[in-house]
């Protein structure tokens, strides 16, 4: 098998793993959310009390698009806006009642996943996998920036 064939198989495998991962994740985190809402919630879980602009930049979407996501999640009590300064226009995002329940389910799933996966890999294998994904992310970022 040549390098091109191996790369093609690797991309196909990444797609299959991504799809399967999200199918299993849905079973463990049974909330009726669309993919963008899930992504925003996972970013908020890992980056509490950041501004909506921070999340718009991370997700690569406009501030108005992230604002619409926040409004929907806020109306359903997944997130809440928090004022960190006296400036009423300056808000940050935190988890609300359902967001905290989502976080608990999220943590249970990821801990269970890591408990199953962790023993299967050596530290060196994990390191090389991490390097692979960092390189892949750099290539994707470069492609995204060059398509403008």
Topology, domain 31-146: Arc Repressor Mutant, subunit A (1.10.10)
State pTM to two decimals: 0.81
Helix (H, G, I), strand (E, B) or coil at 62: coil
Q: What is the pLDDT of residues 44-64, one digit of tens each?
A: 999 999 999 999 999 999 999
- Cα dihedral 95, 100, 103, 105, rounded to 10, equals -160
Altogether, the residues listed in the chain come to a count of: 148
Q: What is the pLDDT of residues 88-109, one digit of tens each?
A: 778 999 999 999 999 999 999 9
Q: What is the pLDDT of residues 121-132, one digit of tens each?
A: 999 999 999 999
Roughly what angle, to the nearest 10 degrees, separates helices 97-117 and 3-28?
130
Which residues, including other chains, have CB under 8 Å from residue 91's CB and lie 6 or more apart?
51, 52, 81, 82, 83, 84
């Amino acid at each position: 098998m040549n390098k091109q064939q191996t790369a093609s198989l690797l991309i196909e495998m990444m797609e299959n793993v991504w799809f399967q991962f999200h199918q299993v994740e849905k079973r463990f985190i049974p909330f009726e959310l669309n993919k963008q809402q899930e992504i925003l919630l996972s970013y908020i879980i890992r980056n509490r009390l950041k501004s909506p602009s921070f999340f718009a930049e991370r997700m690569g979407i406009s501030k108005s698009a992230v604002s619409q996501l926040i409004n929907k999640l806020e109306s359903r009590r997944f997130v809440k806006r928090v004022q960190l300064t006296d400036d009423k226009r300056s808000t940050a995002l935190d988890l609300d009642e359902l967001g905290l329940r989502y976080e608990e389910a999220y943590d249970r799933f990821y801990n269970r996943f890591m408990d199953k996966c962790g023993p299967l890999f050596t530290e060196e294998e994990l390191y090389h996998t991490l390097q692979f994904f960092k390189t892949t992310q750099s290539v994707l970022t470069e492609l995204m920036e060059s398509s403008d």
